[in-house]
Chains A and B, each alone.
Chain A
Amino acid sequence: MAHPSTEQVWDWLDTIPDPEIPAITLTDLGIIRDVGWDGDTCVVTVTPTYSGCPATSLINMEIETALREHGLERIELKRQLSPAWTTDWMSQRGRDKLEKYGIAPPQAAGGPDKCPNCASTNVEKLSQFGSTPCKAQWRCKDCLEPFDYFKCI
């Protein structure tokens, strides 16, 4: 039976926004690890960002819904824990979109390189944690705006 190519499925997945940070897509986030066909079943392999992230089950539902809308009937979602998700897998496009949205993208140095609002490098940490498991709270000491920083893990 003819079925859409895996490239086509990747393209569809690339349009699904992250439920908690809708500025970026699931593929930007780097959590879709594989797409393949097992007979006429489309197998999508997803890795969780944080083991307790409440968005994980919602993400699975959104993938299934989106693929069904594109006419796929047999879909299998696989959970893959290893290798563990890292922010290194986030796309450059995703990083750019995050910054534009007001969230400082992850940096290997462990903190934002600049304020996403005014680009000042004069920033300080407020808390290692933020509004979602993947973010921390920082503040710009020049424009005085608090902002989210996407934790680097």
Chain B
Amino acid sequence: MTQQSDPKFEALLRLGDNTLILGHRVSEWCGHAPVLEEDIALANTALDLLGQTNLWLEYAGEVEGKGRSADDLAFLRDAWDFRNVLLVELPNGDFGQTIMRQYLFDVFNRMNLEALAKSTDTRIAEIAEKAAKEAAYHVERSEGTVIGLGDGTEESHRRMQDALNILWPYAQELFITDEVDEAMAEAGVIPHPKSLQDAWDAEVRAVLAEATLEVPEAHFGHRGSGKDGKMHTEHLGHILTQMQWLQRAYPGQEW
């Protein structure tokens, strides 16, 4: 249960699980993207995200103090122990949906990391300082691609609008705040999620407007969140069967 574990451990799992699950999802494109350059770009983005995962989960394991490594946390936990938001575990959909999800997450990731670089926890600040540079580069690319496809052909526009309609409610989940966030924000370890929302909203809406896309009218966001582990979509379990099968079938194997 959330209440019983160390809030810093929880906060680190949320950071690491978001990048782990999104990194895995994006890596599913490897060898399948519409053109070679995009294939390489997606694979490199996934690689950065997995690198960030390693730093977050390594520290999470140290904070927990039970001797679990980043690999143990990635490969030997079950779905209910994952703390990622639902947005990142959704299936990729078409290329447009993948890019839209990436953009919505990238802007959040960059803002969150820039704030985390000022964390009162030195280790978190150091990891965030490093990762923020990568995230800023990711935004540059996903933003350009969202604009290019949104304000592109009739078909690419339609696909990007469909993607936005599906993903917008999920993106609101990035700003859901619970007692772990409150406690950690109070201690200056992480930014209060709500403190990022206005800037995110302004930046994202401006880009979507440039992409000639309409933000869906519905103002609802998902009430529950994957971040406390109480709720995940059915898709997370399917990801884990792929991602974890080797360690589960042949425990302790090393690269």
Which residues 123-175 in B have Cβ within 8 Å of A in the complex? 125-127, 129-131, 133-134, 137, 140-141
- What residues on B are CB-neighbors of A129 within 8 Å? 37, 40-41, 43-45, 141
The docked-state distance in angstroms from the alpha carbon of A54 to that of B50 is: 11
Can you name the residue of chain A whose Cβ is closest to the Cβ of B37? A127
Residue of B38, B44, B137 near A153 (CB, 8 A) is B137
- What residues on B are CB-neighbors of A81 within 8 Å? 55, 126-127, 129-130
Measured CB to CB, the closest approach of chain A to B115, in angstroms, equals 16
One of A4-12, A15-23, A34-42, A45-53 contacting the partner:
A45-53
Measured CB to CB, the closest approach of chain A to B47, in angstroms, equals 4
Interface string of A47-63 (1 = CB under 8 A from B): 01011111000000000
- Given A81-B129, A153-B137, verify A50-B48 contact (CB < 8 Å): yes
A51, A53, A85, A126, most chain B CB atoms within 10 A: A51
Say yes or no: is B49 at the interface (Cβ < 8 Å to chain A).
Answer: yes
Residue of A83, A126, A133 near B48 (CB, 8 A) is A133
- What residues on A are CB-neighbors of B134 within 8 Å? 50-51, 153
Say yes or no: is A137 at the interface (Cβ < 8 Å to chain B).
Answer: yes
Residue of B41, B50, B126, B127 near A127 (CB, 8 A) is B41
The secondary structure that dominates the A interface is loop
Can you name the residue of chain A whose Cβ is closest to the Cβ of B51? A52
Say yes or no: is B112 at the interface (Cβ < 8 Å to chain A).
Answer: no
Can you name the residue of chain B whose Cβ is closest to the Cβ of A152? B137
- What residues on B are CB-neighbors of A50 within 8 Å? 47-48, 51, 134
The docked-state distance in angstroms from the alpha carbon of A137 to that of B137 is: 14
Measured CB to CB, the closest approach of chain B to A42, in angstroms, equals 24
- What residues on A are CB-neighbors of B37 within 8 Å? 126-127, 129, 137
Determine if B131 and A51 form an interchain contact, defined as CB atoms under 8 angstroms apart: yes
Can you name the residue of chain B whose Cβ is closest to the Cβ of A153? B133
Which residues 41-92 in A have Cβ within 8 Å of B in the complex? 48, 50-54, 81-85
Measured CB to CB, the closest approach of chain A to B225, in angstroms, equals 26
B45, B126, B130, most chain A CB atoms within 10 A: B130
Determine if B40 and A52 form an interchain contact, defined as CB atoms under 8 angstroms apart: no
- What residues on A are CB-neighbors of B131 within 8 Å? 51
- What residues on B are CB-neighbors of A48 within 8 Å? 51, 130
The docked-state distance in angstroms from the alpha carbon of A84 to that of B43 is: 22
Can you name the residue of chain B whose Cβ is closest to the Cβ of A57? B255
Determine if A133 and B47 form an interchain contact, defined as CB atoms under 8 angstroms apart: yes
Can you name the residue of chain A whose Cβ is closest to the Cβ of B42? A129
Say yes or no: is B97 at the interface (Cβ < 8 Å to chain A).
Answer: no
Interface string of A117-153 (1 = CB under 8 A from B): 0000000001111110100010000000000000101
Say yes or no: is B109 at the interface (Cβ < 8 Å to chain A).
Answer: no
Determine if A52 and B48 form an interchain contact, defined as CB atoms under 8 angstroms apart: yes
The docked-state distance in angstroms from the alpha carbon of A85 to that of B55 is: 15
Q: Which 7 A-B pairs have the closest CB atoms?
A: A52-B51, A51-B51, A127-B37, A82-B126, A129-B41, A52-B47, A129-B44
Known: A50-B134, A127-B41. 8 other contacts (CB 8 A): A50-B47, A53-B47, A129-B37, A129-B41, A130-B40, A130-B44, A133-B47, A153-B134
Q: Which residues of A contact B (CB under 8 A)?
A: 48, 50-54, 81-85, 126-131, 133, 137, 151, 153
Q: What would 14 A/B residue contacts be, using CB atoms closer than 8 Å? A: A48-B51, A50-B47, A51-B51, A51-B52, A52-B51, A52-B52, A53-B51, A81-B126, A82-B126, A129-B37, A129-B43, A130-B40, A133-B44, A137-B37
